[in-house]
Structure 1
Amino acid sequence: MLWWISGGIVVVALIVLIAVAMSVLARLRAFDNAARAMQARLVDGQQRVEPRLAALQQTVETMLPQLEAMQEQSLALQARRGVDPENS
């Protein structure tokens, strides 16, 4: 009689274990699908942004000499006026 009870407990425990494992696998499958969708959106967004970033970088590189010249002019003007460039 004791064997039947022990066997029944083991069978019920295995059924519960299988049910929980199936539930976890279903949730992992849903998580995997969501992760794949997010990865695809991330790649798409990156492909859309990269050309704009390259154009922005080109603009910055084009403007840099002009900005440096303006800074030198500003420093020269401040020096002529006797203004300390560190405090302005």
Structure 2
Amino acid sequence: MLWWISGGIVLLALIVLVGVVLSVMGRMRAFDNAARALQARLVDGQRRVEPRVAALQQTVETMLPQLEAMQAQAAERAGGRGSALAELENS
């Protein structure tokens, strides 16, 4: 009699285990579908953004010499003011 009860408990546990495994597999499949959809959207977004980033980088590289020249001019002006101020203080 004890063997029948033990066997029934083991059989019930196996049925519950199979049910849980099937449920988890269904959720994993849904998760996989969502992950694939997100990956596709990510690749599409990257494909759309890359030309814009390249154009922006080209614009920055084109403007860089002009910005460096402006920075040098600003430094010269600041240096000129500093020396003029020093001359006024010395007089």
Sequence identity percentage: 75
Q: TM-score, normalised by structure 2?
A: 0.88
Query: Structure 1-normalised TM-score?
Result: 0.91
Letter in 1 for 2:33: N
Post-superposition Cα deviations, 1:27-64, rounded to whole Å, max 9, x if no partner, equal 10000000000000000000000000000000000000
Quick one: distance in 1 between partners of 2:6 and 2:46?
59
Q: Distance in 1 between matches of 2:40 and 2:18?
A: 33
User: Which structure 2 segments of 5+ residues have no match?
Assistant: 84-91
Q: Kindly report structure 1 stretches of 4+ aligned residues shifted beyond 3 Å.
A: none
Match of 1:73 in 2: 73
Q: Specify the alignment match of 2:13 in structure 1.
A: 13
More helix by share: 2
The structure, 1 or 2, with the larger RCO (C-alpha pairs under 8 Å, 6+ apart) is 1
Name stretches of at least 5 consecutive residues in structure 1 with no aligned partner.
Answer: 84-88
RMSD after superposition: 0.9
Residues paired across the two proteins, number: 83
SS at match of 2:26: helix
